[in-house]
Amino acid sequence: MVKLIVFDLDGTLIDSRLDLAGAVNHMRGTMGLEPLTADRVISFVGNGVPNLVRRAIADAEVDFDEALRRMKKYYSCHLMDSTSLYSGVKAGLKALGAQGIKLAVVTNKPTGAATVILEKLGVAGFLADIIGGDSDYPLKPEPDALNALRAKYRLPAESCWMFGDHYTDLEAGRRAGFRRALAKYGFGEARGEKPDFEVDSFSEFVMAIKGF
Residues with catalytic roles: 8
Reply yes or no: is the peptide bond before residue 141 cis, omega within 30 of 0.
yes
Phi then psi for residue 181, to 5 deg, are: -130, 145
Distance (Å, rounded) from C-alpha 195 to C-alpha 167? Answer: 10
Q: How far is CA 106 from CA 29, 74, 111, 137, in A?
A: 31, 23, 9, 10
Side-chain-facing half-sphere of 108: CA atoms under 13 Å = 25
Cβ–Cβ < 8 Å for 143, 170 = no
